[in-house]
A and B are shown apart, each in its own frame.
Chain A
Amino acid sequence: MNGSIGMNSDSISEAVEAAARHLVAVRRVGDSSFVSLPMYYPDGSSVTVRVRRCEGGVSVSDAGFAYEEVADIGAGRSFGRVAGNLSKLADVEVLGHVIRVHAPMEELERAIYDVASTSWRVADEIFRRAEEVDEDTVAEELRSRLVKVFGAAKLREDHKVVGASTNQWEVSAILDTRGAATVFQAVPNHAVSIYRASTAFRDIADLPNPPKLVAVVRNKVELGPKLTLLSQNARVIELEQSDEEFERAAA
């Protein structure tokens, strides 16, 4: 009875079987069968392959769905290169915007898996890069700016600082001026980036002889209350501020 703690084993079996049936779905449209699998693209839609008969067996493709996923966020140009590399690993091919394979009928299951997993990996790789690239872009712009203001010779090649906790932090740039070091960190306006930078700054500030710390953001006003958090252990300037202001921040 459902009033008792937990379900009995028959109920659990039925629930598991029902869940398993729903994990894979097949829908027929025209001459094609669309098989949706229990794998999800980064935005939550099911990885789905299209299966059709062809000479010698079956054609299995992702119907261009991985391309559609990444084109939707303006990353369609990355598709060719990423799909080309990943499809070689699975021995499938890329035709235009489609990942596909032709296989004999007896290899249908394997073909479905290989196309689906490649399609998922392509979308996952490109989405992951899209999430990372914001921080990388701000850091690159910062480094270019620092070279212009201070000269390349004053920037260390090493980007790592060990904090008081002995944790090693990767930072955007380390400047050496008059025997003292200044750490510059590009901080995009994302909560995760801000919290990570604040934690790093606190750890580095606790060193016996800490370097100067400067957070570089796109817009101080847009940070709102998080500006207070960031400024607890670091000076905060904007990427577009003047060369003199950069020099003052490092002084």
Chain B
Amino acid sequence: MAFPTVVLAEKSIAVFPGWSVPEKGSGAVWFDAPLEIGGVVEPGLVLHGTALLYAPDCNVALELVARGTLTRKRIPLTRIDWRSLRGGHSNQRGRNCGEWSRVRVGHTHIHPFDMNWVVQEERMRGVNLPCAKPIDRALHTFEDVSAYSGKELRINNIDIVTRPKWDYDLFDERVDWNE
């Protein structure tokens, strides 16, 4: 199925497998949830999620990923980054990111499919969604991010994705995200 068709189609998560056990070194957790279109699970099409177990309520990414070729196994199609601890995203020069070229966007942003798809050549731009723009509303909780992502990625049952089992330390300082 062509990528634009996949992106526009109404999708459902076939199974939410739960978040992985944390990676030993980084504390990262992730999941790949297979997606179906019209009741049929599409090969290699997944909702991919990442988070850090020791960093609650931040650094979550939810991404629509398609199966690639023999040489490039995963092709990200759209990604939402929420309160990224990497401080944001810089749209490079000459990357044809439209009005967002050369602009640095903040910690919460979306890499939309249509900014990263080269229509004339029918391929994705770059290797991993080089163009991003800010999200036009405040997302305060994991559930806010999930709901927003469900709408943007056209996944109608994204609410079955549970929040990561974050450790909330009562003595943590409250982080100001300037939202």
Chain A residues close to B by CB (< 8 Å):
22, 25, 27-30, 32, 34, 36, 40, 42-48, 50, 61, 63-65, 67-69, 72-75, 95-98, 100, 127, 130-131, 133-134, 137, 189-191, 222
Q: Which 10 A/B pairs are nearest by Cβ-Cβ distance?
A: A64-B26, A74-B73, A96-B25, A36-B87, A74-B74, A98-B25, A43-B128, A95-B25, A48-B86, A46-B87
Most chain A beta carbons < 10 A, residue from B25, B68, B69, B81 = B25
In the complex, the chain A residue whose C-beta lies closest to that of B118 is: A191
Cα(A191)–Cα(B122), bound, Å: 11
Q: Shortest beta-carbon distance, B121 to chain A, in Å? A: 6
Which residues of the other chain, A, contact B58 by a CB distance below 8 angstroms?
29
Structural contact, B92 and A44, CB atoms closer than 8 A: yes
Q: Sample 27 A-B pairs with CB under 8 A, ordered by A number.
A: A27-B87, A28-B175, A34-B86, A34-B87, A36-B85, A42-B126, A43-B129, A44-B132, A45-B84, A45-B86, A46-B87, A46-B88, A48-B86, A64-B25, A68-B28, A73-B73, A74-B68, A96-B25, A97-B25, A97-B26, A130-B72, A130-B127, A133-B71, A134-B71, A137-B70, A190-B123, A222-B122
Chain B residues close to A by CB (< 8 Å):
23-28, 48, 50, 52, 54-55, 58, 63, 65, 68-76, 81, 84-92, 104, 121-123, 126-132, 169, 172-173, 175
Structural contact, B87 and A48, CB atoms closer than 8 A: yes
